[in-house]
Structure 1
Amino acid sequence: MENIVLVTHSSEATGGGEDDFLRLVKYLSKRYNLYLIIPNGPRAQLLSEYAVDYLITRFNIFPLSKSSVKSYIKYILVSFLRSYDILKFLIKKKKIVISYINSSVCFSDVLILRFFRIPVIICIKENIQPVWIRKLIFKWINYFSCAIIVISKFLKNVYFEDTGNNNAYIVYPLIEEELYRKIYDNLKTFRKTKDGKLVLLNIGVICNYKAQHLLIEAIKMTNLVDKVKLKFIGRVTSHKYFDYLNSIKHNCEIEFLGELKKEDTIKEIYDANCVIITSLNEGFSITVIESLFFNKPVITSNVGIVPEIIKHKENGLIYKTGDSGDLADKINLLFNDNSLFKKISESSNKSILSKFNLDLSLKKYDEVIKLYKK
């Protein structure tokens, strides 16, 4: 079998990009010899089992939203160290026909791969901010890569506007319908919440651009504050922001669950009455897809791929991004209109199954690899 290199940005236990990478690794391991470059994390050991050889390297993600100069300098310094690790790892490897980078936040790895004359395919999953930095990164990627994969029409349009390249391949994120159905069947007798309160769930790392404060602010403006429990799933990446969330919660009942394993996260989705997305910036949210699959109403900010999935008042509700008052209005609307709640719940699952097909997405990845390998 031919040799290929796969690089990922994260080995965390949860996350849409992380889930995609694991499924892709499983699929490609039956067709190629895999050399994996992966940061340390909960999934690193599992990923390594599918590789002929692997490198556990430094965790280094480019800041997605406006950050300090210190953050950017740290990224550059760690990039040099990471490139040295990759150099030592690849220098004695036999002919490698192509490489795939799972996220545009690993754009610095492109240079070392091109040093070995390895063609590079990059998957863009993020809408990096601020815009001027995103444009620089996308132009860098456009120059050094042989092909671009994006996970939504939205990101394809952004990439085209920034680079003038309209040839990016759209491959929607990978949804393991069979696995989800198995988990769903096992959960039919599960009901964790016993106190009679409505559970509103938010999933995402705890940081400014995920904007969890909007949900706390919004629930205080509704007529449901005494009837609701807010749950937040995700590791804390900004302790300053986490402290801020605790300072504004006041009389709200809130539970921070931290980072959970996939099945535990799905249990919480199943247990929730509604899933709320508060992100200010998002390329794609796997949470939206998982929630729709389990027939959970979704209230979401209008970011990223949302307009491609959610039809307002049909399979979810969309509020004005960053507007806690509008979010409060949508929460009141959903829980004070039983017919709307039922309509949205019943139409959620069927709205995603035709677009997010695991087999079609995996075959698309393989087609792009075969097209550009040397």
Structure 2
Amino acid sequence: MKQAWLYVLPWDIGFPGGVNQVVINLINTQKKTQTLTPKLLIDQNSGNANYIASTPVDYFPLTNPCWSPGILGIVKYLIKLPFLLFRLYRYIGNDVQCINPHYPTLNVLNFVLYKKLGFYVGKIILSFHGTDVVSIKKTVGFEKYLWHFIFQHVDFMACCSQKLADELNDYVDNSVEGKIKVIHNGIAEQIIKAATANSGVLPMELDNSRFILNVATFERKKGQDILIRAFAKIRVSVSPIKLVLIGRSTDILINYRQLVSQLDCENDVVFIENLEHQSVLNFFRKANVFCLPSRYEPFGIVLLEAGYFSCPVIASNVGGIPEIIEDGYDGCLISPDNIDELANKLIDLLNNSDMAEKMGRRLRNKVIKTFTWDIAASKYLNLLSNN
């Protein structure tokens, strides 16, 4: 039997979001290359079973000593641990060559103990995506101790950007720094081609309209409020123009709608919630500018997707974004929280189509050559032979 690569997620694969897109694309790539058989494990309480690329999703009850406070949590965990390890033994057996939790929680302690007790000889690779590292750095006391124990006993820690790797390096003990590896996210060109084979229909209000596009979960760190304010400053001078904001709905969305109303630009701002990924891709193809004014951004897969469609990009000079965008060559970088700078860059690109097209073409060339899931999957696979 071909050996397996076990992906682990702390939530249901059906939820929209960047981490799930990473896992889905890695699974698709592994199935295409037929290197290892991908499997996916999710906490049993996460939701109903789904299937990704004909890969069954298994639900498994994971826990850790910090689910209940103090000594009680430790006692409860120790009582459950033998039964949990036995279930892991029956599930993992001898088929799994790599256990790869993405956006790891303290539940990965179960896999570490399973290996440390001699039941498993394969690799454990933790994959970090951004706010998971932020959360870990805030832990204290026993929880912090457990994370450092985990870091000592996993084989590798993969980060989606050098900037995120630097953040993690600053936190971990010197003895484990060599375990931290950078594996950039990518795009799946064949999947994008298939998804956009038909041009798709945009909302009626965008028919024949120029528009600025933003695709991100509606949350403060993504900076949509900055983009809305910058758009309000320029919309008359570059009219006709619209702003399209696509993302997973959150509580902050009502604030953004109120902001649009206060700035008197309801007729020119379009909110689209919880749109499936394949439908989002058609917006990249038709947008005049893509803008990602994030306050915090570990990487930014949406920048790769915009680049694939040669869409000119403006993004904040934060996190892993400068690892994708070279300012003034294949995109524009701005300071976070700077409304005036963003407004000026939008005017520059919207009024200079030649410059915008050149930047878009250059970014497309970079994305196709440098940022693919084939490259990312190959780097993950190489870790199996890296000691």
Distance 1:278 1:138 in 2: 32
User: What's the counterpart of residue 149 of structure 1?
Assistant: 158
User: What's the counterpart of residue 285 of structure 1?
Assistant: 300
> Which moved further from structure 2: 121-130 or 256-265?
121-130
- 8 Å contact kept, 1:111–1:144: no
Distance 2:293 2:100 in 1: 30
- 1:338 equivalenced with 2:359 (yes/no): no
- 1:159 equivalenced with 2:168 (yes/no): yes
Task: Give the aligned residue type for 1:46.
Answer: Y
Task: Give the aligned residue type for 1:235.
Answer: R
SS at 1:100's partner residue?
strand
SS at 1:236's partner residue?
coil
Change (3 A) 1:266 1:200: same
User: What's the counterpart of residue 247 of structure 1?
Assistant: 258
Change (3 A) 1:116 1:88: same
Q: How does 1:252-291 map to 2 (within 5 A)?
A: 252=265, 253-291=268-306
- 8 Å contact kept, 1:174–1:362: no
- 1:359 equivalenced with 2:364 (yes/no): no
SS at 2:275's partner residue?
coil
Task: Give the aligned residue type for 2:102.
Answer: N
Tell me by how many angstroms 1:116 deviates: 1.6
User: What's the counterpart of residue 245 of structure 2?
Assistant: 232
> Which moved further from structure 2: 151-160 or 300-309?
151-160
Task: Give the aligned residue type for 2:351.
Answer: N
Change (3 A) 1:134 1:157: farther
Tell me by how many angstroms 1:179 deviates: 2.4
> Which moved further from structure 2: 320-329 or 137-146?
137-146
User: What's the counterpart of residue 64 of structure 1?
Assistant: none
- 1:55 equivalenced with 2:59 (yes/no): yes
User: What's the counterpart of residue 61 of structure 1?
Assistant: none
Structure 2 residue ranges without an equivalent (≥5) = 63-68
Task: Give the aligned residue type for 2:373.
Answer: L
User: What's the counterpart of residue 9 of structure 2?
Assistant: 8
> Which moved further from structure 2: 273-282 or 335-344?
335-344
User: What's the counterpart of residue 328 of structure 1?
Assistant: 343
Tell me by how many angstroms 1:36 deviates: 2.3
Distance 1:354 1:47 in 2: 26
User: What's the counterpart of residue 220 of structure 2?
Assistant: 208
Aligned-residue sequence identity (percent) comes to 19
Task: Give the aligned residue type for 1:5.
Answer: L
Task: Give the aligned residue type for 2:100.
Answer: Y
TM-score relative to the length of structure 2: 0.78
Q: Which residue, out of 301, 325, 329, partners 1:310?
A: 325
- 8 Å contact kept, 2:303–2:313: yes
Task: Give the aligned residue type for 1:142.
Answer: F
Distance 1:236 1:273 in 2: 24
- 8 Å contact kept, 2:6–2:39: yes
- 8 Å contact kept, 2:16–2:248: no
Distance 1:28 1:249 in 2: 44
The count of aligned residue pairs is: 348
- 8 Å contact kept, 1:37–1:57: no
Task: Give the aligned residue type for 1:47.
Answer: I
Task: Give the aligned residue type for 1:17.
Answer: V
Change (3 A) 1:345 1:146: closer
- 8 Å contact kept, 1:151–1:170: yes
Tell me by how many angstroms 1:209 deviates: 1.5
Task: Give the aligned residue type for 1:203.
Answer: V
> Which moved further from structure 2: 254-263 or 5-14?
5-14
Change (3 A) 1:109 1:255: same
TM-score relative to the length of structure 1: 0.80
Tell me by how many angstroms 1:199 deviates: 1.0
Q: Which residue, out of 36, 41, 49, partners 1:37?
A: 41
SS at 2:305's partner residue?
helix
User: What's the counterpart of residue 125 of structure 2?
Assistant: 121
Distance 1:236 1:178 in 2: 29
Distance 2:295 2:288 in 1: 23
Structure 1 residue ranges without an equivalent (≥5) = 59-72
- 8 Å contact kept, 1:110–1:120: no
SS at 2:58's partner residue?
strand
SS at 2:217's partner residue?
coil
Change (3 A) 1:369 1:312: same
Task: Give the aligned residue type for 1:20.
Answer: V
